[in-house]
């Protein structure tokens, strides 16, 4: 009987662990400070007419300060226009609760990097955004339905799905629940 209880305990803890979104790509604590970052997760993907674009989120905590790291990837055989981020750039997250969470870009101007390989143009842009206190609390309790990104010269809108199976890696993602799943990890 005791052996059965132990086996059940191991199975239940394994199932709970496999559903844990708190996977860290970095977890460093030294004399300089502490840095943690979650793994990149796909929140948006679009493939149309030979052009693809993806948006990945990860959350990093540097000495207690949480930031949203956003990575934009674009691929096309045609020319890819550069979207730039500057100190006035913002991310607006429309929540299903009706609230809008605003995040503020913290870096200087950045237009990303263009790379050409195998007759394909690629553009990679990474941005770092601060959470406001109100945004952090709202994101813990409500799904996201819509993202608006204010670049330097234009604004782009992205509709998030509840379930997304990526064409690039075939893995399932839950973009609308991203913050509900990841932000509790920061409290541990």
- Domains of the chain, residue spans: 22-187
Query: Would you put residue 46 in left (φ > 0), alpha (ψ -120 to 50) or beta?
Result: beta
Model pLDDT, residue 169: 87
Model pLDDT, residue 40: 93
Q: Rounded to 5 degrees, what are φ and ψ at 162? A: -70, -45
Model pLDDT, residue 108: 78
Model pLDDT, residue 127: 95
- Tens of pLDDT along the chain (188 residues)? 343 333 333 333 333 333 356 888 988 888 888 899 999 999 999 999 889 999 999 999 988 899 999 999 999 999 888 899 999 999 999 999 999 999 999 977 899 999 988 889 999 999 999 998 789 889 999 999 999 999 999 999 999 999 999 998 899 999 999 999 999 988 76
Instruction: Tally Cβ neighbours within 10 Å of residue 57.
Output: 21
Q: Count CA atoms closer than 13 A to 5's CA, side-chain side.
A: 2
Model pLDDT, residue 181: 95
């Amino acid at each position: 009987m005791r052996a059965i209880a132990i086996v059940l305990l191991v199975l239940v803890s394994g199932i709970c662990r496999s559903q844990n979104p708190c996977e860290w790509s970095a977890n460093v604590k030294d004399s300089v400070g502490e840095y943690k970052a979650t793994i990149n997760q796909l929140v948006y993907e679009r493939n149309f007419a030979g052009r693809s674009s993806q948006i990945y989120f990860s959350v990093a905590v540097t000495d207690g300060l949480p930031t949203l790291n956003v990575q934009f990837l674009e691929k096309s055989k045609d020319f890819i226009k550069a979207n730039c981020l500057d100190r006035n750039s913002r991310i607006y997250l429309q929540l299903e609760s009706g609230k809008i969470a605003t995040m503020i870009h913290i870096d200087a101007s950045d237009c990303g990097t263009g790379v050409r390989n195998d007759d394909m143009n690629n553009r990679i842009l990474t941005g770092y955004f601060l959470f406001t206190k109100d945004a952090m609390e709202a994101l813990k309790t409500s799904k996201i339905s819509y993202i608006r990104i204010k670049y330097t010269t234009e604004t782009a809108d992205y509709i998030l799905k509840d379930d997304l199976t990526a064409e690039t890696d075939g893995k399932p993602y839950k973009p609308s629940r991203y913050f509900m799943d990841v932000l509790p990890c920061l409290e541990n």
